A = this chain, B = another copy of it.
C-alpha cells in the first residue's frame, strides 16, 4: 500500500535543484536564496509533496514523537494530565503515542519496550507504583523520562507533582480542628508510594500534631473505584468515623452517595474531602470539597520539562512541585 508516492527526489528534479536544497527549504534552513526557495516551494505545492517523517526519523534519529504511559485514559484525573501533555507536545511539534497500562507492571514493561523500539524521543510516565523490573528497564535507556502526577520515592527521575504529604496534612488538620476526633483515611493501594508513603504520612503528621493516637482501623485501603466507595458506609460507621480524607474523586463520590443512600447526611453527620478536584466534584450533590491540583498543568509542565530534557537544555529542578489548594464546597462544614 503506497501511502506516499512523491518523494523529495521528485520535487528536486521538478525544481531543477538538488535534494539537499529541497531538504533545506523543507527544514527552514536559512541558507537558501529566496528565489530558489520560492521555486522549490511552488513545486512542493504543485506536487503536493509531504515529507516522510519515517525516513526523516531514520536519518536524523529524531521522531518528534513521545511515548505516554498512563494507567487508564478513562480516569478523569489521567485524562486531564494527558490533555495537558498533548497540548504542550503539539506546541513543540511533537506527537504522543498514548498507551494504557492499567497500572500493570508487566504491561508497563512491554509498552515501554515497544515505545523505545519506535524510537520515541522521550517518555512521560504516569503510574502509581514503579516495580523493580520497570526501574531496571528505565535504567537501560538513555531516552529522557518524566513522571507526571507520579512520585519517585527514590528521587531519580524528573517528575512533577504537588506536595501530597503537605496537602493531606493540612486538610486532615482542618477536619480535626472542626471537631472531628475520628477522621478516616480512605485511599488506594498502600503499596503505591503516593498513598503509602506520601499521603499516609501527611495523615499521620496531622494526627500527631493534634495529639491524636494513630488508629489503623481508620485507614481504609481500597481499589480507588466508585463502586467500592458506595459499599464503604457500614465499615466507616462501625469505627465511629465522622469524617474522611479520600484520595480519589470517584471513590469519594461513591462514599458520599453511599452515605446519602443510607441516610447519613453529608456534611452534617459525616464530612468528606477528596483529592483530585476533577470536574466530578462539581457534578455530585452535595458538591465535594477537594484538595485542588492543577491537573492540566501537571501534564503540561511535565511535557515542557521533557522538551528541555530532549533538547539537552539545563533543568534547574527535577522534582517539580506545583501549588495545591483547597476548594471548599459542600461536603465539609
Spell out A's residues near B (CB within 8 Å).
1-4, 48, 50-55, 57-58, 61, 63, 65, 68, 72-74, 76, 79-80, 82-83, 86-87, 90, 95-100, 113-119, 140-143, 226, 250, 253-254, 257, 260, 279-280, 282-285, 310, 312
Contact = CB atoms under 8 A, between A and B. Distances in A.
Contacts of A72: 83
Given A53-B118, A54-B118, A118-B54, A73 B65 contact: no
A226 B100 CA distance: 27
As for how many copies of this chain the complex holds, the number is 2
A90 to B, nearest CB: 8
A284 B261 CA distance: 12
A138 to B, nearest CB: 14
Contacts of A282: 226
- Return the 10 tightest CB-CB contacts between A and B, nearest first: A98-B98, A53-B118, A54-B57, A53-B117, A54-B119, A74-B83, A74-B79, A73-B79, A253-B283, A95-B97
A73 B70 CA distance: 13
Given A50-B113, A86-B100, A283-B283, 11 more contacts: A2-B61, A2-B142, A3-B143, A73-B73, A73-B82, A74-B79, A95-B115, A96-B99, A226-B279, A280-B283, A284-B284
